[in-house]
Amino acid sequence: MLEYRAEGLCRNANHLRREELYHCITTGEVLQSTALAFDTERRLRFELGGQRAYMPFEECVDVGPQEEIKDIAVLTRVGRPTCFVITGTEVDENGEEVFLLSRSLAQRLCRRQYLDILEAGSVIPCTVTHIENFGAFCDIGCGIAALLPIDCLSVSRISSPADRVQVGQQLLCAIKNRDPQGRIVLTLRELLGTWSENAACFAPGETVVGIVRSVEDYGVFIEIAPNLAGLAEADRSLHPGQAVSVYIKNILPDKMKIKLVVVNKNLAQPLRFEPHYFVTRGRIKVDLLHPAEPQADRDGVLSFKQIRFAILSLLFLPCIIVWKTQNTRK
């Protein structure tokens, strides 16, 4: 299976000679170059190793049959690396040969030969292109976007995707599913290890850096790895996102809890943990993407839904027992 790269990571056409550019017409290789202008004839203009090249407006983005290309989608390519295949050449009004480029064809090839073959759980590389409150959009090949929702970034609670990733960052993600329109939805957290795998990287008695994730009346949850947080004593002077150093007082694997003591809450620089992958290739199990049983939540504490379910079960249990007894007697 071919693997198509994100824009910015394809082979740079600016370094190719004219003969090599001709060869790429035959092979259909996906190349890239920086768009220099969007001219009055509604074309993106490039220079490939000194050779002029144009990308017609209708070749700038691959859209569905009922969709139209938005001007902003093309205008924003100016000054940015843009992928394409070279479809041929033509002679311009000055009698000079120019190369014709198509980004939409590159995207169709990427879908047909790569993305459409992938299954849920497949691990793929991607690049963060922009960030919204609800998640990060990632280039999964040839400028094709996929959503990485905020709740799929990590187990620890975060207030913004920017707490975990930044624009331009290269990631490994797994395909979670496809939305009703067939667009790919990504997840990162399943690749960052289980509680046990992350906890095994630490030991009681160590002092490490951490990030405050939530401040509660009963304590402060502090993240010491993207998928691992511990609980320190309540301290209202701390706030979410604050970088601190903490002493690991105890690790309780049977309870999936870590007890921390804040050592220094005046660290000068902000902190963002880089992903530490426990899975880097292949395909993860689909049941990891959709766990069937309720688990202890991200910080080793039961969620509100889980607590409510337990209370309701206890309330209705006597009624169920009486009902079963009466039916048995009958």
Whether residue 105 is contained in a domain is answered as yes
As a whole number of angstroms, the distance between CA 158 and CA 57 comes to 40
Whether residue 57 is contained in a domain is answered as yes
Whether residue 287 is contained in a domain is answered as no
Candidates 179, 116, 323, 46; CA nearest to 31 is 46
Give me the pLDDT at residue 290, please.
61
Same domain, 85 and 41: yes
Whether residue 294 is contained in a domain is answered as no
Mean pLDDT throughout 266-295? 77
Give me the pLDDT at residue 85, please.
97
As a whole number of angstroms, the distance between CA 150 and CA 182 comes to 20
Whether residue 54 is contained in a domain is answered as yes
Same domain, 95 and 148: no
Whether residue 49 is contained in a domain is answered as yes
Instruction: Give residue-wise pLDDT tens across range 79-103.
Output: 999 999 999 999 988 889 999 999 9
Mean pLDDT throughout 250-278? 91
Whether residue 300 is contained in a domain is answered as no
Same domain, 88 and 150: no
Whether residue 80 is contained in a domain is answered as yes
Q: What is the pTM of this model?
A: 0.81
Residues 169 and 272 sit within 8 Å (Cβ to Cβ): no
Q: Is the confidence at residue 238, as pLDDT, over 80?
A: yes
As a whole number of angstroms, the distance between CA 7 and CA 12 comes to 10
Domain boundary among 88, 113, 138: 113
Residue range of the domain that includes 126: 118-191
Same domain, 124 and 34: no
- Residue 94's domain is classified under what CATH number? 2.40.50.140
Residues 65 and 113 sit within 8 Å (Cβ to Cβ): no
Query: What letter would DSSP give residue 226?
Result: T
As a whole number of angstroms, the distance between CA 309 and CA 296 comes to 13
Instruction: Give residue-wise pLDDT tens across range 59-77.
Output: 999 998 888 999 999 999 9
Percent of the chain with pLDDT over 90: 74
Q: Is the confidence at residue 175, as pLDDT, over 80?
A: yes
**Secondary structure class of 242 (helix, strand, coil):** coil
